[in-house]
Structure 1
């Protein structure tokens, strides 16, 4: 995958002991960072996250623990797909997937361009939400993707019913291109260029860099 940064995790390590692949200092909420998912070590945590009722749009609601470990083991082995554990102030708080949309998720469903990168993200469910946290997470995710000079455009395909993520996507510069009928959902094919991301962050007084 042309947008790969760093090497995928090997062995079983605590998130605190793994090398970071990207960091960003948020002016309001402090340090955010990403490290590769370790499928064996992280499966119990990720299973709790993805099967929570608030994570319905991640489409793993009925997964058992072995299913989650298998899912992320397959991602770790893929040439076109990566998974990252997101940290806030050093503690696991979100999940990010990065993929090549010409090969994964959107293969054959749109006209892929060189420099296109796809992504998914999920914030850990919580009963004590922090104002602005999800926006800080998606900003960190986009900042990481555009830190790679090969990335020209980020492509996403959220469920048309997921109004919360549509608002977040718009806040960081995404524009809906059209509706896609996928086997698992109807989705809004949405794009964000580097310039659109920069303009969106500047419009709300945010920063795109670390």
Structure 2
């Protein structure tokens, strides 16, 4: 269940690996990350350890929904979700196309951010998603107020489609095709960093 499912080496920052979340073994770590003030847009600031455990057990039990723990040089550094849009909060709000996959990501909060780290994490997540030939377009719905993540999303090729109302937030619906992502790799690098 928790073996490596993806590996990527970043030219500047080294090795990133991804494995499935262990809802029991990772719960304390995930609780610390999700309840940190810098993770407010995940809407779990008041969650208990049991709440977080239930959330990740629910994800593990849902077909087409995966929670993934990312490690940088062997140290846990981010969490991501990939999910089937059918039956999600976006079903009926967004026109789902064959090959669409939903994604969320959270970089572990830190007081000592590394320049370019969030972009390297997001590229790792995008490479993971596009390593599955069935995935042709990534769909995200971050809070409209989360301007830092909007900059990151644009840096990897996301196109902003506009605001949509979802449970608990107004989201900025954005999509990125495989070709848009690949085109972003040859564009100018961003100096923006998401606070963690």
TM-score, normalising length from structure 2? Answer: 0.94
Question: What residue in structure 2 maps to residue 26 of structure 1?
Answer: 10
Question: What residue in structure 2 maps to residue 122 of structure 1?
Answer: 106
Cα offset, 1:205, TM superposition: 6.7
Matches within 5 A, 1:57-68: 57-68=41-52
Any gaps of 5 or more consecutive residues in structure 1?
A: 1-8, 10-17
Does residue 1:134 correspond to 2:132, yes or no?
no
* SS across alignment from 2:97: coil
Deviation string, structure 1 residues 26-59 (Cα, Å, up to 9, x no partner):
0010001110000000000000000000000111
Aligned residues of 2:7 and 2:15 also touching (Cα < 8 A): yes
Question: What residue in structure 2 maps to residue 6 of structure 1?
Answer: none
CA distance in 2, matches of 1:24, 1:194: 17
TM-score, normalising length from structure 1? Answer: 0.88
Question: What residue in structure 1 maps to residue 165 of structure 2?
Answer: 181
Matches within 5 A, 1:1-210: 9=1, 18-204=2-188
Cα offset, 1:80, TM superposition: 2.4
Count of residues in Structure 1 that have an aligned counterpart in Structure 2: 190
CA distance in 2, matches of 1:155, 1:165: 14
The runs of at least 4 aligned residues of structure 1 exceeding 4 Å deviation read none
Any gaps of 5 or more consecutive residues in structure 2?
A: 191-196
* SS across alignment from 1:173: coil
